[in-house]
Structure 1
Amino acid sequence: MIRKIITLTNNKSFVIAYSGGLDSTVLLYKLIAIKKIISDIKIRAIHINHNLTLSSKKWVKHCTEHCKKNSVPLSIKNLHQDKNNSEEKLRIKRYNIMYHNLSSEEILLTGHHMNDQCETFFLSLKRGSGPTGLSGMSFETIFGQKKIIRPFLNKTKKELQLWAKRKNLTWIEDFSNFETHYDRNYIRHKIIPIIEKKWPFFLKNCLRTIKICREETILLNQFLLEKIQNFINFDNSLNIKYFKNIQKKTCTAYIRRWLALQTIKMPSYNTIQSIYNEIVCSRADANPKIILCKHEIRRYKQSIYFLKIQKKINNTFLFWHNITTKLVLPNNLGNLIQDERGISLPQPKTNELINIRFQYEGKILIIGRNKKRKIKKIWQENNIPPWLRNQIPLLFYNNTFISALGVFIINLKNRNKKKWKISWKNDFKFNNSTFSFY
C-alpha cells in the first residue's frame, strides 16, 4: 500500500508521525525498506513529546536511537499540557504542531489501522453523530494546504503485530493506553474484544459500514455543494431569503455544508438546529447570534454571516496628535493617513484635538439631508450590519462629531472652509477565517 502511495503521488517527501509505538514503528520500518528500493524518496520523522510521565524521556531516547540507527532525520516537539486537556484537545494540539512543521512538499503519514477506525466509529455512535461522523477517518485528508495519508486503515492491529515480530522490531508500550477511564481505551479493551469473540469478522464489517457512510456522505456533499452555490453571496454570507419555501431538513443541510466551507470543526446537530430556529427563523429586524468557539453566526436582513469575534472597542479613544504620521487602528482595522486621494473633510482648527472613537448615539444631520435622523437609521440606510457599526472609525474634533469615515459626513455650520483629506487604508472584510485542524 505504501509503495502504491509513493507511485501515485507526485510528492517524494514523507513525514512519519512517530510515537515509538507499534503502529508508527511498523510504518517507519516499512518506509526504510522502501527507500532501499526507491532511493530518491525523502523520509523524516516527527515525535510529539507529551511530557506526561517520567517515561516520556525514555520514549524520546527510544525514537532518537531508532532514527539515528537508520539515518532518518527526527524532529522532537514538546506539547505542554494543562489540567483541562481532554483527549480531543490533545489530538487537536498534536495535529496543529505537525501541520506547522510540514513543508508544502511533504505528506504526513500516520499509523492508524482498522482497530483505530472501529474505535472512532464507536466514539461517533456515542456522540450521536450522523453519516459524516460515522464515516470515520479518511485514507487521505487535505488539511489546509497539506496532506495526511493513513496507509494502514485496511490492516488490523494483529497484522501489524505479526509483521513487527517477523522483523524482530522493538517498540514502546504506552501503559496509559490501558487506562479504561479514557473513552477510546474503554472501547478498545472492554467492548471490541467481547464483540470480536462473538463475531470474528466484526472489524471488517464495521469498516464496510464506514466505507458506505463515507461514499454516501461524499455524494451528498457534492450535491449540496452544487446547490448551495445559488445561496452564497459575494461576501461569503448565506442568502436565506427563500429558505421559508424550503423544507427544514434541506435548509439545515445547506447550513451544514456552508459551515463546512469555513474550515472549522463542524458544530453539533443541536447547534445546527439552533442556527435554523433562532437565526434563520428570527424576525428580519432581529439581531440574534450564536457563538461557535472564536466565531459567531449573525443575521442581517436576508443573509446569515460567519464572523470572527472581534474585541469590543466601543469605549476606545485614539488621539491623532501628529497628522503627518499614520494613525494605527485597533482590531486590524488598518490605519488613517493624510492623503490627497482621501475623503475631503473640514480642516480642524489649530486648538482642536483630532480624535477617533467607535461609538455614537443620538440624532445627527449629515450632508445631503435637511433633517436630523438617529444614527442607527443612517447605518441601516447604508446597509451597515450591527456588528460592523462599532468597527468604523468616527472622526471628532474635540467633542464635535465630524464623520464616519467612508460612510457619511456631518453637516456642520460655521466650520472651517479649508479642507484636508484623510484615507482609511484597510482590509476590512465581512469574513476573516484562517485554517486550524480539527
Structure 2
Amino acid sequence: MIKEIISQYQNKSFLVAYSGGLDSTVLLYKLLEIKKKYYIKIRAIHINHNLTLLSKKWSEHCKKICNINHIPLIVENINIKNKTNNLEEKLRIKRYNIIYNHLFSDEILLTGHHINDQCETFFLSLKRGSGPTGLSSMSFETLFGTKKIVRPFLKKTKIELQTWAKKKKLHWIEDFSNLNIDYDRNFIRNEVIPILEKRWSYFLKNCFRTTIICQQETRLLNDFLRERIYKLIKFDDSLNIENFKNIKQEMCTALIRYWILLKKIKMPSYKNIQCIYRQMIFSRIDSNPKIILGKHEVRRYKQSLHFIKTQPSLKNTLLFWHKNNIKLTLPNNLGYLIKNNNGTVLPGPKENELINIRFQYEGYVLILGRSKKRKIKKIWQEKNIPPWLRNQIPLLFYNNYFISAIGVFVVNIKNKNRTKCIISWQNDLKSTTNNFFSFY
C-alpha cells in the first residue's frame, strides 16, 4: 500500500518522523524495501522529548538503525520546563515546528499514524465538543505550511503493523510512558478503546469510516463557503458583515469560521466563534469590540471584521530624534523615519527644540486647511484610521508642540518663522516571519 501511495507523488524525497517506536520503524523499513527497486531519497528526523531517563538511549537506538541502513538522521531535543499544563499539546506544537524547519521544500513528511491513532484523535475531538471539522481527525494528506504531511498507514491497524514487524524481526522501542493514563490520549488508548473493541470487533474501522464521512461533509461545506466568502472579503482581507443581521446565525458563524480558517491559525472553539458573532454583529455601531485569539485578535471597524496580529501598546513610548540627519528606527517593526525629498513637507524645528516621537495624543487639533479645531478621535475617523492602528502611527513633536501624524495630517501651528523639512515614514525592513510556519 505504501508503494502505491508514494508513486502518486512527483516528489520522491521523504523525511520520516522517526521516534524509534513500532509505527515509525515499520514505516522506515517499508521505505527501505521500496528503495531497493525504485529511486527515492530518504532522511529521518528524531525528536528527543527528554521526558524519561531512557530518552537518550532511544536517540542512540535511532542513530544506530539509521547508520546501519545509511539513512541521514537529524536529532533534535525538546526541553519543556513546565511539565504540568497541557504537556501533550506543547510537545506536539514544538515537535512539528522543529520538523517543519528541517523539511526541504521538495520533501514530503511521512508519519506512521494508523487507524488506532485516528480513533484516539476522534475521541479527543469528541471530548472537546468539536464539530465535523474537528471530528474529521487526520487526513491521508495535509498541507504543512507550503509543504505536505502524508500518513500512508492511516487505513492500517496497529496489529497489522505489529504482525509485519514481527515477521521481519524488526527491533523497536517500547515507550512505557504510553501506559500512563494521566495523559488523555493514553487514557483513551488503554482504558476506553479496548472495552469498545471487545464489545464490537469492528469498532475501529467504523470509527475510521465516521472520520472519512466528516472529512467529506467538511469539504462539501468548505466548497460552498468558498464561493460565498470571496464575495465578502475586501481588498484588505477584512470581512464585510454589512448584511449579516439579515442572514441566519448558522450561515454567519460558518462564514466567520471559514474566514478565520483562511488565516492559517489554530481554529477557535465553537464558543469563540459564537462570541465573535454576538459581539461583532449585534453590538452598538459606535462600540469597539475585540476578541482575542492567541497572538491575534478580531476587531470590527464600521461594517467589517478585521483579523490582526496583537501589537504591544506604544501608549507611553517616547523616542528622541536628536540626530535627525540619521534615520530613526520605530518599535513594533513599524519601519523608520528619515529626512529626504519624498515625504511630507513639515515646518522645521527651531535650534533649541527637541524632536521627539510619540504614539498617543488626546484633545483638539487644528490641521492644515481647516478653520476649526476638532477632536483627534474625529480626525482619525475622518481619515478612516481604525482604532488599533491609531497608536501605531508616529506623532512628531517639537518639545511639547504637536506637529504631525506622519503621513496622515499636519498640524497648523501658525508660525511662519520656521524652515521647511521633509520627513518620510518608510518600511523596507525584511520580515523575519516570511518563511515561518507555526504549527498548532
TM-score (norm 2): 0.97
Task: Give the structure 1 partner of residue 24 of structure 2.
Answer: 24
Shift in Å, 1:435:
3.2
Shift in Å, 1:194:
1.1
Letter in 2 for 1:436: S
CA separation in 2, counterparts of 1:270 and 1:142?
A: 26
Task: Give the structure 2 partner of residue 61 of structure 1.
Answer: 60
- Among the aligned pairs, what percent are the same residue? 68
Task: Give the structure 1 partner of residue 438 of structure 2.
Answer: 436
CA separation in 2, counterparts of 1:142 and 1:183?
A: 26
Kept in 2, the 8 Å contact 1:342–1:424? The answer is yes
Task: Give the structure 2 partner of residue 204 of structure 1.
Answer: 205
Indicate yes or no: 2:48 matched with 1:49.
Answer: yes
1:273-305 CA deviation, whole Å, 9 max, x = no partner? 000011221111101111111111111110111
Task: Give the structure 2 partner of residue 388 of structure 1.
Answer: 389
Task: Give the structure 2 partner of residue 104 of structure 1.
Answer: 105
Letter in 2 for 1:37: K
- Residues 355/263 of structure 1: CA separation in 2 closer, same or farther (3 Å cut): same
CA separation in 2, counterparts of 1:241 and 1:106?
A: 44
What SS class does the counterpart of residue 276 from structure 1 fall into?
helix
Kept in 2, the 8 Å contact 1:348–1:416? The answer is no
Listed as ranges, the matches of 1:221-236 within 5 Å are 221-236=222-237
CA separation in 2, counterparts of 1:293 and 1:245?
A: 30
Task: Give the structure 1 partner of residue 220 of structure 2.
Answer: 219
Provide structure 1 residue ranges, at least 5 long, that are not aligned to the other structure. Answer: none
CA separation in 2, counterparts of 1:115 and 1:236?
A: 40
Provide structure 2 residue ranges, at least 5 long, that are not aligned to the other structure. Answer: none
Listed as ranges, the matches of 1:267-282 within 5 Å are 267-282=268-283
Kept in 2, the 8 Å contact 1:280–1:304? The answer is no
Indicate yes or no: 2:183 matched with 1:194.
Answer: no
Kept in 2, the 8 Å contact 1:59–1:172? The answer is yes
Task: Give the structure 1 partner of residue 139 of structure 2.
Answer: 138
CA separation in 1, counterparts of 2:43 and 2:202?
A: 36
CA separation in 1, counterparts of 2:303 and 2:327?
A: 37
Letter in 2 for 1:347: G
Indicate yes or no: 2:148 matched with 1:147.
Answer: yes
TM-score (norm 1): 0.97
Kept in 2, the 8 Å contact 1:402–1:409? The answer is yes
Kept in 2, the 8 Å contact 1:346–1:418? The answer is yes
Kept in 2, the 8 Å contact 1:118–1:203? The answer is yes
Kept in 2, the 8 Å contact 1:366–1:409? The answer is yes
What SS class does the counterpart of residue 37 from structure 1 fall into?
coil
CA separation in 1, counterparts of 2:94 and 2:437?
A: 14
Task: Give the structure 1 partner of residue 353 of structure 2.
Answer: 352
1:65-90 CA deviation, whole Å, 9 max, x = no partner? 11101001110000111223521121
Shift in Å, 1:341:
1.1
- Count of aligned residue pairs for this structure pair: 434
CA separation in 1, counterparts of 2:214 and 2:414?
A: 69
CA separation in 2, counterparts of 1:319 and 1:332?
A: 18
1:232-281 CA deviation, whole Å, 9 max, x = no partner? 11111111101011001100000000000011000000000000011221
Listed as ranges, the matches of 1:107-186 within 5 Å are 107-186=108-187
What SS class does the counterpart of residue 148 from structure 1 fall into?
strand
Indicate yes or no: 2:248 matched with 1:257.
Answer: no
What SS class does the counterpart of residue 333 from structure 1 fall into?
coil
1:100-127 CA deviation, whole Å, 9 max, x = no partner? 1111111100000000001111111111
What SS class does the counterpart of residue 36 from structure 2 fall into?
helix
CA separation in 2, counterparts of 1:9 and 1:345?
A: 60
Task: Give the structure 1 partner of residue 288 of structure 2.
Answer: 287
What SS class does the counterpart of residue 219 from structure 1 fall into?
helix
Shift in Å, 1:426:
2.5
Shift in Å, 1:2:
2.0
Kept in 2, the 8 Å contact 1:349–1:416? The answer is no
Higher mean C-alpha deviation, range 246-255 or range 79-88: 79-88
CA separation in 2, counterparts of 1:415 and 1:217?
A: 66
Kept in 1, the 8 Å contact 2:97–2:437? The answer is no
Structure 1 segments of 4+ aligned residues over 3 angstroms from their partners: 432-435
Listed as ranges, the matches of 1:225-374 within 5 Å are 225-374=226-375
What SS class does the counterpart of residue 64 from structure 1 fall into?
helix
Letter in 2 for 1:216: E
Task: Give the structure 1 partner of residue 75 of structure 2.
Answer: 76
CA separation in 1, counterparts of 2:30 and 2:373?
A: 77
CA separation in 2, counterparts of 1:4 and 1:98?
A: 25
Letter in 2 for 1:315: N
Q: Let me know the Cα RMSD of the aligned residues.
A: 1.3
CA separation in 1, counterparts of 2:86 and 2:120?
A: 20
CA separation in 1, counterparts of 2:215 and 2:93?
A: 22
Letter in 1 for 2:35: K
